[in-house]
Amino acid sequence: MTGSLRRTLLQVLASPSGRIGFLVLALLVLVAVVGPWLVPNPAAMPDLLAGATAPGRQHLLGTDHLNRDVLARVVHGARISLTLATLSVLLAVSLGAIVGLTAGWLGGWADATLMRGVDAALAIPRLFLLLMLVAVWEQMPLAALVAVLGATGWFATSRIVRGEVLRIREEAFVDAARALGAGSGRIIFRHLLPNTAGPLLVAATLGVGDVILLEAGLSFLGVGVRPPTPSWGGMILDGRPMLISAPWESLFPGLAIVVTVLAVNLVGDALRAALYPRSA
Amino acid sequence: MTPLLEVQDLRISFPTAGTRVSAVDGVSFTLERGEMLAVVGESGCGKSLTSLALLRLIPHPGRIEPGAVIRLDGQDVMALDEAGLRRIRGRRIGMIFQDPMTSLNPVFTVAAQIGESIRAHRKLRRAETRARALDLLREVGLPDPEARLDQYPHQLSGGMRQRVMIAIALASEPEILVADEPTTALDVTVQAQILEVLDRLRVARGMAVLLITHDLGIVAGRADRVAVMYAGRLVEEAPTPELFVHPSHPYTRGLLASVPRLSGPVTRLTPIAGTVPLPAAWPSGCRFHPRCPEVLPRCPTDDPPALGVGPGHQARCWLVEGSRP
Dihedral sign of CA atoms B201, B204, B210, B213 in order: positive
Q: Which of A1, A180, A195 lies nearest to residue B94, judging by beta carbons?
A: A180
Does the domain at residues A2-41+55-275 carry the CATH identifier 1.10.3720.10? yes
Peptide bond before residue B325 is cis, with ω within 30 degrees of 0:
no
Select from B325, A98, B201 the least CA-distant residue to B211.
B201
Q: How far apart are CA A251 and CA A241, in angstroms?
A: 13
Reported as a pLDDT band with limits 50, 70 and 90, residue A99 is: very high
Average pLDDT per run of 10 along chain B, which is 325 residues long?
88 86 89 92 86 88 89 90 88 86 86 87 84 90 89 88 90 90 81 86 90 86 90 91 90 84 74 80 87 87 87 89 63
pLDDT of residue A134: 79
Q: Do B90 and A180 touch (CB under 8 A)?
A: yes
Q: Do B168 and A180 touch (CB under 8 A)?
A: yes
| pLDDT cut 90: percent of chain A above it | 9
Q: Do B89 and A180 touch (CB under 8 A)?
A: yes
Per CB-CB distance under 8 Å, the chain A contacts of B95 are 176, 179-180
Q: What is the pLDDT of residues A7-38, one digit of tens each?
A: 777 887 888 888 888 888 888 888 888 877 77
Q: Which is more confident, B230 or A1?
A: B230
Q: Which of A3, A171, A173 lies nearest to residue B109, judging by beta carbons?
A: A3
When mean pLDDT is compared across A22-26, A210-214, A244-248, A265-269, the lowest value belongs to A244-248
Q: How far apart are CA B186 and CA B174, in angstroms?
A: 24
Select from B304, B279, B309 the least CA-distant residue to B289.
B304
- Highest mean pLDDT of the ranges A49-53, A233-237, B287-291: B287-291
Please check the confidence at residue A191 and state whether its pLDDT lies above 90: no
Distance from CA of A108 to the nearest CA of B (A): 13
pLDDT of residue A88: 92
Reported as a pLDDT band with limits 50, 70 and 90, residue A186 is: confident
pLDDT of residue B269: 78
Q: Do B57 and A181 touch (CB under 8 A)?
A: no
Per CB-CB distance under 8 Å, the chain A contacts of B161 are none
pLDDT of residue A224: 74
Per CB-CB distance under 8 Å, the chain B contacts of A179 are 52, 55, 57, 89-90, 95, 97
Q: Do A195 and B105 touch (CB under 8 A)?
A: yes
- Touching B: A residues 196-215, CB under 8 Å: 197
Give the residue on A whose Cα is nearest the Cα of B95.
A179
Please check the confidence at residue A115 and state whether its pLDDT lies above 90: yes
Q: Do B97 and A175 touch (CB under 8 A)?
A: yes
Distance from CA of B87 to the nearest CA of A (A): 7
Cβ–Cβ < 8 Å for B234, B27: yes
pLDDT of residue A280: 42
Q: What is the CATH number of domain B5-92+174-189+200-273?
A: 3.40.50.300
Select from A161, A169, A168 the least CA-distant residue to A118.
A161
Q: Do A4 and B152 touch (CB under 8 A)?
A: yes
Cβ–Cβ < 8 Å for A62, A52: yes
Give the residue on A whose Cα is nearest the Cα of B83.
A183
Distance from CA of B43 to the nearest CA of A (A): 18
Cβ–Cβ < 8 Å for A154, A197: no
Domain boundaries, chain B: 5-92+174-189+200-273, 106-173
pLDDT of residue A1: 45
Per CB-CB distance under 8 Å, the chain A contacts of B116 are 190
Q: Do B86 and A175 touch (CB under 8 A)?
A: no
Residue type, A80: I
Check CB contact of A4 with chain B, cutoff 8 Å: yes
Q: Which of A179, A183, A195 lies nearest to residue B95, judging by beta carbons?
A: A179
User: Which pTM was predicted?
Assistant: 0.78
Concatenated DSSP letters for B254-266? Answer: HHHHTS--SSS--
Q: How many CB pairs under 8 A join A and B?
A: 69
In three-state secondary structure terms, B117 is helix
Q: How far apart are CA A212 and CA A223, in angstroms?
A: 14
Half-sphere exposure for B92 (CA within 13 Å, toward CB): 15
In three-state secondary structure terms, B24 is strand
Check CB contact of A176 with chain B, cutoff 8 Å: yes
Length of chain B: 325
pLDDT of residue B228: 93
Q: Do B169 and A180 touch (CB under 8 A)?
A: yes
In three-state secondary structure terms, A147 is helix
CB contact burial A18-28 (16+ within 10 A = b; e otherwise) = beebbebbeeb
Please check the confidence at residue A46 and state whether its pLDDT lies above 70: no
In this prediction, residues A72-100 reach a mean pLDDT of 88
What residues does B177 pair with on adjacent strands?
B94, B209
Domain boundaries, chain A: 2-41+55-275
pLDDT of residue B19: 84
Q: How far apart are CA A73 and CA A99, in angstroms?
A: 38
pLDDT of residue B118: 87
Q: How far apart are CA B96 and CA A180, in angstroms?
A: 9
Q: How far apart are CA B215 and CA B193, in angstroms?
A: 16
